[in-house]
Structure 1
Amino acid sequence: MRALLIVNPNATSTTPAGRDLLAHALSSRVRLTVAHTTHRGHAAELAQQACVDGMGLIIVHGGDGTVNEVVNGLLGTPPPGSTRVESVGLVPPIAVVPGGSANVFARSLGIAADPVDATNQLIDLLARGELRRIGLAHCDNRWFTFNAGLGWDAAVCEAVDAHRKNGRPATPAQYVRAAVRVFFRSKNAEPTLTVHVPGQERVEGVHYAFVSNASPWTYLNKREVHTNPDTNYDSGLGVFAMTSTSIVTTLRVARQLLTPGVSPRAKKLIRVDDVPSVHISASRPIGLQMDGDYIGLCNDVEFVSVREALDVVAPKS
């Protein structure tokens, strides 16, 4: 089988030695071509060309942002409101060897966090021909794999992106520091969001909202953070939205998010699971993030679940 290995050499936990080891190990299982990304959007371009070239597999060695680019390159722009993939031609499955700071997508699929362990796991999965078909989601004309958000987490992603541009790596500690700074900077601001889940009443006065396609929502090192524990790649979307920025309420909910087996609940929390879509509007432009990357400002976004959208090399759930 012909396979393309897309490597982001600037990802947090990639090294030249690790990349060489990965390529050497995979060459024993597939006919491998290696491509390194050189600019933003390059992974999407490489994925598009891989489809044209008839590659049987795309392997991504990088962080969640690189994976997101590859998925968007493979599937193309999703039409607004569409509940199915409308790509032209055959879409090869993807495999992921973690190389970023959080690697939420890979780890949520049961892929080992350590790149060497993940490489050995991938070789075993390829030997067994083990594939899993997962659901994805889209909004703002772009696919996302595990989560998106408006408000607080988007501002955190924007701050961390700025941190990266200064040549400093993104770490869990950096995300926590950014989250605390953003929270206290904006806690007295008026809420701007209105959330509408089909079949339910609109909820106004929302400060920030997370939309999940999988769980965990993220990781703090080895600790999982669950906003919607029942959301997974075989279900619809999970929605988590707060109508309060009270410190007491926020700390209570944060403790629930970090406690294994607990489904977050609070009077000021709107949380629903397994919905086909959710519409969120803002009274003024607000930040949007997808898969941990800051996208920009928006006023009106519809998030849509698409079942069985993509084949991945991963343990079967």
Structure 2
Amino acid sequence: MRALLIVNPNATSTSPAGRDLLAHALASTLTLSVAHTTHRGHAAELAHHAGTDGTDLIIVHGGDGTVNEVVNGLLGPPSDAPLPHVPFAVVPGGSANVFARALGVAADPLVATNQLIDLLATRQRRRIGLGSCGDRWFTFNAGLGLDAAVCKRVEDHRERGVAATSGQYVRSAIRTFFTEKRSPARLTVALPGAEPIDGVHYSFVSNTSPWTYLDERPVHTNPGTSFDTGLGIFAMRTMGVIKSLRTARNMLAEGGDPTSPDLVRADDVDWIRITASEPMPLQLDGDYLGERDDVEFRSVPDALDVIAPAAE
């Protein structure tokens, strides 16, 4: 089996020695080529080429941003007719690795590599749904507003050499929350079969659950959402500190199932449209994409073949 290993050498939790070990292990069972990304968008270019040159498997060793690039390069824009594509696997290498963890992939890269070898030997794979937004795919999460502003803040810090740790995300989220708290509600959420809901301060769109992690602790916004369902929407109509803290506590609780009179939530919908009274930050899989005032998120079932454990 011909395989391409796409490596982001700048990913948070990768090292040259670790990359060599996992490449050696994979090469023992695969005809392996290794490509290191050198610039933004390079992973998408490599995946697009691999999808047309007879490669049988694409493996990504990097974080969620690299995974998103590869998925978009492999599949092409959602508006295009679906094309056959090679299976996809991920070996975690970033700071959060939400997509890999949601698939049941081990957090340790070497353990995940051995897990992948075992899955290939037993021919296990899954077909999962993805989310789309305009001309881009997302694998686990998107949002317009608060979470995208946090992603931008963290990206700005990374460009200045500050590591994207869980602590950095928490500090950025707190600062962004109290900055936005003084702003009026600017979002309106439209869902299938319902009247548009205005007065929304911030919203998260999920393609699986957990939505993200705080170190080892999962954060649940839409526990009824998975790779086998539609999208989840979590939208708050308050910035009150006490109410927000109660909701956050529910999100972090074991088996969290957040509810609130101020919360707009649905766990399995085909599409979500969010409009804003002025342009707001947009993010897909933690990647800041600029500002938008009208976005539509769609669920696309059975969009991607992945080498991963069977769904629980």
**Other-structure match for 1:82:** none
User: How do residues 295-314 of structure 1 correspond to structure 2 at under 5 angstroms?
Assistant: 295-314=289-308
1:243 is aligned to 2:237: yes
**Other-structure match for 1:284:** 278
Q: Residue type of the partner of 2:136?
A: R
User: How do residues 26-105 of structure 1 correspond to structure 2 at under 5 angstroms?
Assistant: 26-79=26-79, 86-88=81-83, 90-105=84-99
CA distance in 1, matches of 2:181, 2:308: 40
1:254 is aligned to 2:248: yes
Does the 8 Å CA contact 1:149/1:209 hold for their aligned counterparts? yes
CA distance in 2, matches of 1:202, 1:162: 34
**Other-structure match for 2:7:** 7
**Other-structure match for 2:225:** 231
Q: Deviation per CA, 1:143-202, whole angstroms, max 9, x where unpaired?
A: 000010111100100011011111222100000000000001110101110000010111
The alignment yields a C-alpha RMSD, in angstroms, of: 0.8
Does the 8 Å CA contact 1:195/1:204 hold for their aligned counterparts? yes
1:203 is aligned to 2:202: no
1:136 Cα deviation after fit: 0.3
1:120 Cα deviation after fit: 1.1
CA distance in 1, matches of 2:38, 2:56: 23
CA distance in 2, matches of 1:14, 1:295: 25
CA distance in 2, matches of 1:239, 1:221: 23
CA distance in 1, matches of 2:163, 2:33: 28
1:304 Cα deviation after fit: 0.2
1:129 Cα deviation after fit: 1.0
1:29 Cα deviation after fit: 1.1
1:180 is aligned to 2:174: yes
Unaligned stretches of 5+ residues in structure 1: 80-84
**Other-structure match for 1:138:** 132
1:86 Cα deviation after fit: 2.3
User: How do residues 150-161 of structure 1 correspond to structure 2 at under 5 angstroms?
Assistant: 150-161=144-155
Moved over 6 A (4+): none
1:253 Cα deviation after fit: 0.2
User: Does the residue aligned with 2:71 lie in a helix, a strand or coil?
Assistant: helix
Unaligned stretches of 5+ residues in structure 2: none
Does the 8 Å CA contact 1:57/1:93 hold for their aligned counterparts? yes
Give the TM-score, by structure 2 length: 0.98
CA distance in 2, matches of 1:126, 1:101: 26
1:15 Cα deviation after fit: 0.2
Does the 8 Å CA contact 1:75/1:86 hold for their aligned counterparts? no
Aligned sequence identity (%): 64
1:51 Cα deviation after fit: 1.1
User: Does the residue aligned with 1:52 lie in a helix, a strand or coil?
Assistant: coil
Q: Deviation per CA, 1:97-121, whole angstroms, max 9, x where unpaired?
A: 0000000000000001111111111
The alignment covers a number of residue pairs equal to 311
